[in-house]
Amino acid sequence: MLKFYFNGSPNPTKVALFLEETGLLYEPVPVDTKSGAQFSPEFMKLNPNAKVPVIEDDGTVVFDSNAILLYLAEKHDMFMPESRHRGQMLSWLMFVATGIGPYSGQSVHFRHFANDASAYAANRYQFEAERHFKVLDDHLAANEFLVGGSYSFVDMAAWGWARMLDYVMGDAAPAKFPHVKRFVHRIGARDAAKRALSLKESFSFKPTFDDEARRYMFQHQHRKD
């Protein structure tokens, strides 16, 4: 059975959405990153980058949420855009992987966790997050879904961070991106999305973001040159 190493953060949640949408049998394996479980020798054999999500699938290990989605969609031929849309599929998937995800994550870091952040850094990542979501919003203004007019794994990839617009950019963000907001609500109303979001509730994760959690999550603060 497929093993799915996860926590409740945006990148594992989009993989959980795919698994719930498809009905593939899987074993969820919680990884409590606030307690440093991602740095265990066993986990780092699976992902030397010490990040969730990871899957083990009949001896094949795949890490990075977007790689996992592409791998599963291609293997099972489920939620794949038609082959004639492959160029657009790869383009929008990489847009999520290299733009939406990283800039959203950095915007969250400087907005919520970097107590001594420079104004330049905070402004830089806020601007880039807004710029990328504007590209997504403009595309969705003329398209119900990202690729080929139908719901696909690429939409699931975008949904992971898009559903957290207010956390990424502030309470006013959803109103700035009405087409992204509509897209998020449409996917969020699906039963599979509700199951994906509730998956973490079946497991015990450390609830507090204390000094120990900061040490594991923000290792740059403790490095020794």
pLDDT by residue (tens digit) across 52-72?
A: 999 999 999 999 999 999 999
Cα dist. 136→83, 121, 130, 176 in Å?
22, 23, 10, 12
- Cα–Cα distance measured from residue 187 to residue 190, given in angstroms and rounded to the nearest whole number: 6
Domain 85-189 annotated CATH 1.20.1050.10: yes
Q: Where in the chain is the domain with CATH 1.20.1050.10?
A: 85-189
Summarised one tens digit per residue, pLDDT across range 89-103 is: 999 999 999 999 999
Other beta carbons within 10 Å of 96: 27
Q: Where in the chain is the domain with CATH 3.40.30.10?
A: 2-78+206-222
Q: Partners of 6 in the beta sheet?
A: 30
Cα dist. 164→46, 101, 156, 209 in Å?
28, 11, 13, 19
pLDDT at 211: 75
Summarised one tens digit per residue, pLDDT across range 92-146 is: 999 999 999 999 999 999 999 887 768 898 899 999 999 999 999 999 999 999 9
**2-78+206-222, superfamily in CATH?**
Glutaredoxin (3.40.30.10)
Which tokens in the block code for residue 133?
A: 């979501």
Is the pTM higher than 0.75?
yes
Phi-psi region at 124: left, alpha or beta (left = phi > 0; alpha = psi -120 to 50): alpha
